[in-house]
Amino acid sequence: MKQLLDQVVMEAGKIIVGKEHTLRLALTCLLANGHLLIEDLPGVGKTTLAHTLARLLGLQYQRIQFTSDLLPADIIGVSVYHRGEESFQFHPGPVFTQLLLADEINRATPKAQSALLEAMEERQVTIDGSTRSLPLPFFVIATQNPAHQIGTFPLPESQLDRFLMRLHIGYPDARAERVLLNGEDRRSLLEQLDPCLNLEQLRALQQQVARVHVSDALLDYIQALLKFSRHSPRFNHGLSPRAGLALINSARAWALQAGHSQVLPEDVQTVLSATVAHRLHSDSDTGVREGAGLAQFLLESVPLP
């Protein structure tokens, strides 16, 4: 199994150069059956990353470009009257897919955002009184620009909470950038990619995640982290139980992709920043990227039990 996942990472590394750790985290997020939010400046490869993952995992793939005039119907679909059959017929929207890339999600109005976020949580949509299930698996990879950019509607905390992880890609280092500048066009490379996994393999991997052993000692550690976040004056509010679950699931998935049969505190620490940074706020909100600093502070403040 590990080889399989390593191969996914290696193939993806051909497109997204020099970002192995980020790729592994993204993969971890999907293995843990969670939605992924990628936040970074335009042009660092957010969309490419999402696209690459969709291709490699062999998933059906749709993309929505969020704009300020996007309507919920543009996401979930619309019923149209057919004159010939004299009835309404439902035209599914782009949400009916296995992997949805929601590009620049914070450019849309809250109304459109919440239509998607509802679908993410329930994994089903309700239109005209009838409930329609979304395909399985169903992942959302959303990208957003940093909140301080003009023309954005920042996601509220309750909606941020639905993403298992938030990743930053960041600028490539000099050597990777050289390869990038020197190499072929990414788009044509993407076309050439072959899927490494099929649906059954993905499902089996997801089931394996749940079987990775979590000992009492590790649960003590997770509880210590949660407790500290709730009592330390540095945080505006503590981590929720949902955040605790997210932490365990991500750590399990990380341990699996790293080839371990049990979760170690290091696994928790590796996924900590990605998993909790978007759920933490300090009392004096400095805005940009403070979550990562807070997560690091949390990590360094809590000793292993």
Partner 1 sequence: MNPNELGRRPLLALSLITLLLVAPHFVRLDLRISLAFIAVILLRLASLYLPRLHPGRWLLLGITLAGAALIFTLYPLLIGLPAKVALLALMLGLKLMECRRRRDLYVVVFLGYFTLSTHFLFEQGMLLVAYAFVLVIGLSGLLIEASRATSRPGWPLHSLRLAAGLTAQSLPIMLVLFFLFPRIEGPLWNLGVDNSTGKTGLSDSITLGSISQLIRSRAVAFRVDFDQAIPPPRLRYWRGPVLWHTDGRRWSRGRLVETGPVTFRSDADPVGYQVTLEPSPNDWLYALDLPETLPAGATLSADYQISAKNVRNRRYRYAASSRLDYHTGALSERQRRLGLQLPDTVTSRMRALVAGWRAGTDSDRQLVSRALQFFRSEPFYYTLNPPLLETNPVDQFLFDSRRGFCEHYATSFTLLMRLAGIPARVVTGYQGGQRNPLGNYLIVRQSDAHAWSEVWLAGSGWTRIDPTAAVAPERIERSFEFDLDENADPGVPVIFASADSDLLRSVMKQLRLGLDAANASWHRWILGYSRQQQQSLLQLLGFGSLSEFKLALAMVLTTAALLPLLLLLLRRRERIRPDPVQGDYVKFCRRLARRGLVRQPHEGPRDFARRVIRQRPDLQRQVSAIVNLYIALRYGPSDDPQQRRRLHRLVRGFRA
Question: CB-wise, 156 or 259, nearer to partner 1?
Answer: 259
Question: CB-wise, 56 or 251, nearer to partner 1?
Answer: 251
Q: How far is the CB of 220 from partner 1 (least distance, A)?
A: 7
Q: How far is the CB of 296 from partner 1 (least distance, A)?
A: 10
C-alpha 135/C-alpha 202 separation (Å) is 14
**Angle ∠(76,81,82) on CA atoms, nearest 5:** 120
Q: What are the tokens at 220?
A: 């003590």
Q: How far is the CB of 268 from partner 1 (least distance, A)?
A: 8
The residue ranges that bind partner 1 (CB under 8 A) are 213, 215, 217-218, 220, 261-266, 269, 299-305
Determine how β-strand 139-144 pairs with β-strand 77-82.
unpaired
**Angle ∠(172,173,178) on CA atoms, nearest 5:** 85
Would you say 239 and 280 are in contact if contact means Cβ atoms under 8 Å apart? yes
Q: How far is the CB of 276 from partner 1 (least distance, A)?
A: 15
Q: How far is the CB of 269 from partner 1 (least distance, A)?
A: 6
Question: CB-wise, 266 or 290, nearer to partner 1?
Answer: 266
- Helix H or strand E encompassing 103: strand 99-103
Query: What one-letter code names the amino acid at 142?
Result: A
Question: CB-wise, 29 or 268, nearer to partner 1?
Answer: 268
Question: CB-wise, 7 or 301, nearer to partner 1?
Answer: 301
Q: Which one, of 11, 52, 56, 5, lies nearest residue 32 by Cα?
A: 5
